[in-house]
Chain A
Amino acid sequence: DIQMTQSPSSLSASVGDRVTITCRASQSISSYLNWYQQKPGKAPKLLIYAASSLQSGVPSRFSGSGSGTDFTLTISSLQPEDFATYYCQQSYSTAGYTFGQGTKLEIK
């Protein structure tokens, strides 16, 4: 099974900050990496697919990069509505998707 590890597990930041979240795969997954945002009590929302493609309707302050085993999600200028938990997910193995453990982004 492919394991996904996110860092950090939690992060405190202020409105306007630039924030980067990292996701590492246990084996190469090319660009088969997606990012989701989840707010408390809500379903996850797709932000980025195929490592760097922005989902329609998602603000351009969100961006993704990486390939192989190392990936990043960057928020260029944090907005109040961005405080949430973020998950990476690999789709390299369609026989078994796996998520990272999540990164909780909190207000400093």
Chain B
Amino acid sequence: EVQLVESGGGLVKPGGSLRLSCAASGFTFSSYSMNWVRQAPGKGLEWVSSISSSSSYIYYADSVKGRFTISRDNAKNSLYLQMNSLRAEDTAVYYCARDRVWQQLVLGQYYYYYYMDVWGKGTTVTVSS
């Protein structure tokens, strides 16, 4: 069964740090880009960060750039999010999600469509004094 399981959430004071983990199973983890997506209480979904399969490409939302670091260990089938300088507005459920790509050939040109097809259940981060 394809599965993602997040861990590492908890209560942390403003300015503190936390490291989230996401354990993957049931698929070849090293072949997929991965994402972190968060959802503040009562709010919508916010993409946080992405990392390519070999860690060559890494992207962050402006709201976390310079404070959060995404990484992965393909040997351990694991994704991580190091969160530093945490703020109250970082309080959210954090999901890891697999990035799937669909390749379409149209008139001799390939187009690559990305979508998040597998999600974990999430881990809750609360930033409060």
CA distance A38 to B117 in the complex (A): 13
A-B contact count (CB 8 A): 66
Task: Please tell me if B45 contacts chain A, counting CB pairs below 8 Å.
Answer: yes
Quick one: CB contact mask for B12-38 with A, threshold 8 Å, 1 for yes? 000000000000000000000001010
B46-A94 in contact (CB<8A): no
CA distance A14 to B45 in the complex (A): 26
B114-A95 in contact (CB<8A): no
B50-A97 in contact (CB<8A): yes
If over half of A's interface residues share one DSSP class (helix, strand or loop), that class is named, otherwise mixed; here it is loop
B102-A49 in contact (CB<8A): yes
B44-A91 in contact (CB<8A): no
Q: Which residues of A have CB within 8 Å of B113?
A: 31-32, 49-50, 53, 91
Distance to closest chain B CB from A38 (angstroms): 8
B44-A43 in contact (CB<8A): no
Interface residues of A (CB under 8 A from B): 1, 30-32, 34, 36, 38, 42-46, 49-50, 53, 55, 87, 89, 91, 94-102
Q: Which residues of A have CB within 8 Å of B120?
A: 43
CA distance A98 to B46 in the complex (A): 7
Distance to closest chain B CB from A62 (angstroms): 14
Q: Which residues of B have CB within 8 Å of A1?
A: 62
A102-B45 in contact (CB<8A): yes
A43-B59 in contact (CB<8A): no
CA distance A49 to B100 in the complex (A): 10
Quick one: CB contact mask for B99-110 with A, threshold 8 Å, 1 for yes? 010101000000
B61-A96 in contact (CB<8A): yes
